[in-house]
């Protein structure tokens, strides 16, 4: 079973703060890295699917980077807002496996 580690486990920031999370995954046999946002009482929603080393993706105030050689990805949120409060999941897939999820980072943004 592949291991995906996310840190921190939880984070509490004030509105306007910028924040970042880390996802670590095995660097061998890399195929793709996914980021999802999961708000309470809703379905997980795909944020980014990243496949190339050095990839950087952006969606509004949220961006992500990928380093497949060392096996990590960062998710950044610039100027956090209360509506950013959610659990952020990363998931890793090799060429021969299905998606393996980390435990997630729970973000709470206070007004």
Of the residues 72, 74, 76, 101, which one makes contact with other proteins according to CB under 8 A? 101
| Interacting residues of 69 by C-beta distance below 8 A, sequence separation 6+ | 27, 53
Tell me the window of 10-18, 62-70, 71-79, 101-109 that interacts with other proteins (CB under 8 A). Answer: 101-109
Number of Cβ atoms within 10 Å of the Cβ of 68 = 20
- Does 93 sit near other proteins (CB under 8 A)? yes
Of the residues 28, 40, 42, 60, which one makes contact with other proteins according to CB under 8 A? 42
Interface size with other proteins, residues (CB under 8 A)? 23
| Token duo for residue 89 | 């999941």
Residue 17 or 65: the one with the smaller Cβ distance to other proteins is 65
- Does 34 sit near other proteins (CB under 8 A)? yes
- Does 95 sit near other proteins (CB under 8 A)? no
Residue ranges that bind other proteins, judged by CB under 8 A = 1, 4, 32, 34, 36, 42-49, 89, 91, 93, 98-104
């Amino acid at each position: 079973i592949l291991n995906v580690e996310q840190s921190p486990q939880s984070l509490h920031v004030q509105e306007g703060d910028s924040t970042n999370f880390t996802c670590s995954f095995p660097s061998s046999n890399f195929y793709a890295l996914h980021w999802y946002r999961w708000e309470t009482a809703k379905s997980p929603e795909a944020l980014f699917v990243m496949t190339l080393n050095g990839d950087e993706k952006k969606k509004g105030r949220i961006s992500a980077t990928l380093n497949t050689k060392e096996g990590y990805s960062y998710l950044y949120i610039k100027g956090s807002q209360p509506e950013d409060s959610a659990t952020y999941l990363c998931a890793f897939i090799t060429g021969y496996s299905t998606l393996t999820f980390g435990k997630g980072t729970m973000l709470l943004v206070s007004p």
